[in-house]
Structure formats: C-alpha cells, structure tokens
Structure 1
Amino acid sequence: MDNILRVCIVGRHYDIPTQEISQETLIALNHLIDESQNINPKDLLKAFLEASEISNTLKTTIQKANQILESNKNP
C-alpha cells in the first residue's frame, strides 16, 4: 500500500495511486490531510481554484508570448 494515497472526503474514502500524481501534487495534498487522513472539502476546493488560476495565468502568458514571437518573426 506504499504506492496508494488514501484520503477521506466527507466520509467517503478514496485510494489514489501515487504513481499517477506528481511529487509536487502529493506534497500539496499531504498539507491538506489531517491526522485522521481527512481532507476538508473547503480546503480542497480552495487549493483546486488556486491551481486552476495559476494554470490559466500560465496559459494566457504562453499564448501572449507566442503571439509576440510570431509577430516578431513575420514583420
């Protein structure tokens, strides 16, 4: 069971194979898990929204950078 992360969210247990999760995500999840292996749904939602915002910002920045590169390539 070393390669399984077991968490409980609102009384429901989930076994998550750790090989499907990046090390950074595992560390973040471990910060959300309390001593009884529970995750507060509010904390999980907050972490998801923060990660989603970071992802969207990165996508937008990459798209803008690509547009700048393309416009500089074809003056």
Structure 2
Amino acid sequence: MFELNDLRQTRFFQDVFEEGKKEGKREVFEEGKLEAKLEMIPHLLGFGLSIQQIAQALSLDEQVVRQAAQPKS
C-alpha cells in the first residue's frame, strides 16, 4: 500500500515542497520590504517631503502613503 511516507520520498513531492518553502520566503521578504517602507513614511514627512514625493520615492500608491501617514490611535 502507498503511504504518506512513500509519497514524501518521491522526487515530485520534494520538488514541490522546496518550491513552497521558497515561495514562503519570498512572501515574507516582500512583506518585510513593505513594512520597512511604511515605517519610513513618518520620517520622510518629517523631512518635509510631500505625499506624492514619498509615494514616488518608495514606489507606493499615494493612497497607501496617506493611510500610513495617519496618526495611529
């Protein structure tokens, strides 16, 4: 009978598993990049940059910059 352990030993399973790990790392990396950009927004506003300038410099949508610039309650 073909069991789960047998499936895990197949080349197909190992390839798919490794690809999934890479995708997960990529997603975490992208989330981290976005979080870092969002954290920079208040600092850039403090330097006198406009919402438009910040959006352009960080490659973000202006609406995202506006939301991040709102004071947290």
Normalised by the size of structure 1, how large is the TM-score? 0.48
Structure number with the bigger relative contact order (C-alpha 8 A, sep ≥ 6) is 1
Normalised by the size of structure 2, how large is the TM-score? 0.49
Question: Whose helix proportion is higher, 1 or 2?
Answer: 2
